[in-house]
């Protein structure tokens, strides 16, 4: 039985069970199942039964126990999955997210104990990190970090099959089925007129940035601020496949999120690269706010800009987002409720900004879900339908690698990738 020594699958290197077991508390009673919220007693009973199977004799589940643990993990995930999708994500109780995380944990451990290939165990860890809540000192992140070195490097496939993501997967819905093909038209950026240029500054002092841009809420492009970040030399498509090729992430499909055919699906980074980076006639975007918590190796290559210390919140309150995709992807004109530093790592983006004072001329959607998004196609506006759009003054820039754009809170911004691009944004208050 693999659990007695190592877990090994086709192409995987052996994973000593002791290495995995060392991530868990030594005794069964030390593995706390305390939940931040109420769940049914029957669910607590299932959690305790799974814990007992995990520890078993000398903490090594035998074949029958590993199979029973796998079945219990399926039940826990299926039941909590329904709870995660019962209403808006913000209303999902943390206790149910923890149950889902435990289900993913027990399932991943069952896979390792059964000696199967490790890809499914890693995927279960990622699902728990994406949809669950941290349990046992973020054991899922520690487990996937222990498993990943034993996986062969994920080679991009020509035509991946995407997995279904729940409707509540942040930041958007998902659909089942093969990935849609869409032709990308790479258009040159509009000419940036002198009166529209966003000002540029090289490493301004904290005081100068605060007094001249933060307090008066004026956009500015900062230069020389991120030159020392390791990502500026390390990050490339090949590097992402090496570090995170086997990791499951949510990917947005479609040129822009306001398109009817837009959807979101779960796939590995390697599959995303093969389908949307290597195949240049498809539009897909890796855009998510959990990537750096999910894959700490990437977070180590960036830093929070010093200017964020001028905000009122704590560092832990800063949301870090990843934006990775081919040229032709578009973020429609929209506004965000926080200050934003958009750091460009590689590739170029055309960006246009409008003041909140021009909101009425930008025709926001009337629906609550898109109230922060304009109905106007910025580069091809329907002036018969939206005649006042011409009254709105704007600033624009081509954001280059190594530059950071400060987008004040509630400022409307439109973004188009001109080529393969990776950006990191920091939302702060």
Q: Looking at the predicted structure, is the pLDDT value of residue 80 above 80?
A: yes
H helix and E strand count, the chain: 12, 15
Which backbone phi and psi does 77 adopt, to 5 degrees? -70, -45
Is the pLDDT score of 260 beyond 60? yes
Q: What is the mean pLDDT of residues 344-365?
A: 97
Residue pair 130/290 in contact (Cβ under 8 Å)? The answer is yes
The residue with greater pLDDT, 219 or 294, is 219
Q: Band the pLDDT of 264: cuts 50, 70, 90.
A: confident
Q: What is the CB neighbour count within 10 angstroms for residue 131?
A: 27
- Any idea what DSSP says for residue 219? -
Tell me the pLDDT tens digit for each residue of 165-224.
Answer: 444 544 433 322 233 333 456 778 888 888 899 999 999 999 999 999 999 999 999 999
Strands 200-202 and 220-223: parallel
Q: Is the dihedral of CA 146, 151, 153, 157 positive or negative?
A: negative
Give which of 400, 362, 357 is closest to 381, Cα–Cα: 362
pLDDT average, residue stretch 32-48: 93
Tokens of 16: 């000593």
Q: What pLDDT, on the 0 to 100 scale, is given for residue 146?
A: 93
Residue 207: which residues within 8 A CB-CB, separation 6 or more?
Answer: none
CATH class of 194-229+293-428: mainly beta
Per the listing, tokens 């200050």 go with 339
- Measured distance CA(2)–CA(23) in Å, rounded: 18
Judge whether residue 313 has pLDDT over 90. no
Q: Angle 289-291-296 (CA atoms, 0-180°, nearest 5)?
A: 130
Sorted by where each begins, the domain ranges of the chain are 2-150, 194-229+293-428
Please say whether the beta carbons of 199 and 396 come within 8 A: no
- Residue identified by tokens 């001109």 is 418
Mean pLDDT of the chain: 86
d(CA 428, CA 133): 22
Residue 279 pLDDT exceeds 70: no
pLDDT computed for residue 301 by the predictor: 97
**Overall average pLDDT of the 362-368 stretch:** 90
Whole-model pTM: value is 0.84
């Amino acid at each position: 039985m693999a659990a007695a020594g190592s877990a090994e699958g086709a192409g995987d290197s052996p994973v000593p069970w002791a290495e995995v077991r060392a991530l868990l508390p030594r005794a069964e009673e030390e593995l706390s199942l305390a939940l931040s919220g109420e769940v049914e007693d029957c669910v607590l009973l299932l959690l305790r039964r799974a814990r007992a199977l995990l520890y078993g004799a000398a903490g090594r589940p035998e074949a029958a126990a590993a199979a029973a643990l796998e079945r219990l993990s399926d039940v826990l995930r299926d039941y909590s999955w329904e709870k995660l999708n019962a209403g808006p994500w913000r209303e999902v109780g943390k206790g149910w997210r923890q149950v889902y995380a435990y289900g993913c944990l027990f399932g991943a451990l069952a896979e390792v104990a059964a000696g199967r290939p490790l890809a499914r165990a890693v995927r279960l860890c990622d699902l728990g990190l994406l949809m669950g809540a941290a349990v046992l000192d973020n054991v899922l992140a520690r487990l996937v970090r222990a498993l990943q070195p034993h996986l062969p490097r994920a080679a991009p496939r020509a035509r991946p099959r995407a997995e279904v993501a729940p409707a509540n997967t942040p930041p958007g819905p998902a659909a089942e089925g093969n990935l849609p093909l869409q032709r990308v038209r790479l258009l040159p950026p509009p000419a940036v007129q002198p009166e529209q240029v966003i000002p540029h500054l090289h490493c301004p002092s904290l005081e100068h940035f605060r007094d001249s841009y933060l307090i008066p809420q004026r956009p500015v492009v900062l230069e020389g601020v991120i030159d020392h970040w390791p990502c500026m030399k390390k990050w490339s498509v090949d590097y992402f496949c090496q570090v995170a090729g086997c990791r499951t992430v949510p990917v947005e499909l479609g040129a822009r999120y306001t398109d009817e055919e837009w959807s979101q699906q779960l796939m590995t980074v390697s599959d995303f690269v093969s389908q949307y980076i290597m195949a240049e006639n498809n539009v897909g975007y890796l855009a998510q706010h959990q990537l750096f918590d999910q894959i700490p190796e990437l977070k180590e290559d960036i830093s929070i800009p010093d200017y964020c210390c001028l905000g009122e919140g704590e560092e832990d309150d800063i949301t870090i987002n990843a934006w990775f995709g081919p040229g032709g992807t578009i973020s429609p004109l929209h506004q965000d409720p926080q200050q934003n530093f958009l750091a460009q790592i590689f590739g170029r983006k055309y960006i246009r900004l409008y003041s909140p004072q021009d909101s009425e001329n930008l025709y926001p959607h009337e629906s609550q879900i898109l109230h922060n998004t304009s109905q106007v196609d910025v580069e091809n506006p329907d002036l018969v339908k939206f005649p006042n759009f011409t009254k709105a003054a704007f600033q624009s820039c081509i954001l280059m690698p190594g530059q950071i754009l400060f987008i004040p809170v509630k400022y409307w911004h439109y973004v188009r990738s001109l080529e393969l691009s990776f950006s990191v944004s920091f939302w702060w208050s």
